[in-house]
Amino acid sequence: MSVVWERRRTALRSGWREFTAQRSGVAGLVVLGVAVAVAVLGPLLTGASALDVTRVEAAAWEPPGPGHWLGTDHTGRSVALLVLNGTGASMLVGLTAAALSVAIGTLVGIASGHFRGWPASALMRVTDFFLVVPQLVLAIALSAVLPRGLGTIVLAIGLTSWPATARVVRAQTLAVEARPYVERAHALGGGHLHVIAHHVVPAVLPLVLVNTTLAVASSIVSESTLAFLGLGDPTHLSWGTLLHQAQLFGAVSKEAWWFLLPPGLGIMGLVLAFTLVGRALETVINPRLRS
């Protein structure tokens, strides 16, 4: 056992070295760290009444200046505080939706790669169906039917974005199962569970990890899109909800750029950070990508 652990620790260490060798990946990781800190600390640093519309005292639509360094929204709340407090919801939805989508995708991918024959065909046709259905339209339909809430958004994104993962995981599963040592395991009497748990999953896992990181980025964008379109839960503050409110309450007519820009930049920064980390991880597990 200790040999295995020793080997894993060495692999992890060399992987980390590979990762840190890429400056963009490290930059992404730093941004992520800051975002997590903000998401956790933001609500603690904000006073109880600062975001309560009935208790704010500042005037509405104040441009950035002393006191409100990112201006105020239509009710007089500080945009800076709103953006800080929206980080958590955006990240939470992005992470859980990505986890859900990758979980479904991995399950379907491994199952259809491992079990050949009609079950695999059936699973792949289902995957193909979800692949060609316009994702946004399906997500909109789902969030229109289900009750409003963060859970619905997570479900809507998760249920619509898994086919790509399923395809990738299936390909990897097929490649792994074609290797001689898997054949040997079969010959020695290894059942489905043994082969999947001991050989396929460990080989697929790094790929899934990278996929998750990249899926988080697209889930954050999806969440913002749905919230912007008014399909989110307006009672929960997220960056998409902020953009929705800015549009709904006339920030464009008001030329209130300070209400539109910060949440937009926040989304951009977080998505970029996840993408950079994902790309760097991809390079670590796939030596062919190294220059």
Nearer to other proteins, 121 or 286 (CB): 286
DSSP code for 63: P
CB 188 within 8 A of CB 182: no
CA 18 to each of CA 8, 26, 33, 79, 289: distance values in angstroms, whole numbers, following the listed order: 15, 11, 19, 39, 12
Asked if 235 is part of the footprint of other proteins (rule: CB under 8 A), the reply reads: yes
Quick check: 48 binds other proteins (CB under 8 A)? no
Q: Is the dihedral of CA 274, 276, 278, 281 positive or negative?
A: negative
146 SS3 class? coil
Q: Which is nearer to other proteins, 148 or 186 (CB)?
A: 148
Q: Does 24 interact with other proteins (rule: CB under 8 A)? A: no
**How many residues make contact with other proteins (CB under 8 A)?**
30
Cα 271 to chain centroid distance, Å, stands at 8
Stretch that binds other proteins, among 143-151, 156-164, 176-184, 185-193 (CB under 8 A): 143-151
Q: Is residue 37 within the footprint of other proteins (CB under 8 A)? A: no
Residue 285 touching other proteins (CB under 8 A): no
User: Using CA atoms, how far apart are residues 165 and 176, in angstroms rounded to an integer?
Assistant: 16
* Binding residue (CB under 8 A) for other proteins from 74, 201, 275, 285: 74
* Binds other proteins (CB under 8 A): choice among 148, 171, 209, 272: 148
Could you count the other beta carbons within 10 Å of the beta carbon of residue 208? 21
Tallying the residues shown for the chain, one arrives at 291
- Between the CA of residue 101 and those of 107, 109, 155, 173, 223, what are the distances in Å? 10, 12, 9, 18, 13
280 SS3 class: helix
For residues 196-225, which are near other proteins according to CB under 8 A? none
Which residue has 């569970």 as its token pair? 193
Based on the shown chain and the rule CB under 8 A, indicate whether residue 248 belongs to the binding site for other proteins.
yes
What is the smallest separation between the CB atom of 198 and other proteins, expressed in angstroms? Answer: 31
Residue from the set 29, 60, 99, 159 that interacts with other proteins by CB under 8 A: 60
Which among 193, 170, 159 has a CA at the least distance from the CA of 124? Answer: 170
249 binds other proteins (CB under 8 A): yes
Torsion angle of the four alpha carbons 197, 200, 201, 207, in this order, in degrees rounded to the nearest 10: 180
144 binds other proteins, rule: CB under 8 A:
yes
Structure token pair of residue 147:
């009750």
Hey, what are 180's tokens? 């001689």
Taking the complex as a whole, how short is the minimal distance between the CB of residue 251 and other proteins, in angstroms? 8
Binding of other proteins at residue 231 (CB under 8 A)? yes
Looking at the Cβ atoms of 4 and 48, the one nearer to other proteins is 48
Tokens of 12: 């992890």
Task: Return the number of the residue (11 or 248) whose C-beta is nearest other proteins.
Answer: 248
40 binds other proteins (CB under 8 A): no
Q: How far is the CB of 196 from other proteins (least distance, A)?
A: 29
Nearest distance, CB of residue 234 and other proteins, angstroms:
5
Which stretches of the chain bind other proteins, using CB under 8 A? Answer: 52-55, 60-61, 74-76, 144, 147-148, 230-231, 233-235, 245, 247-255, 257, 288-289
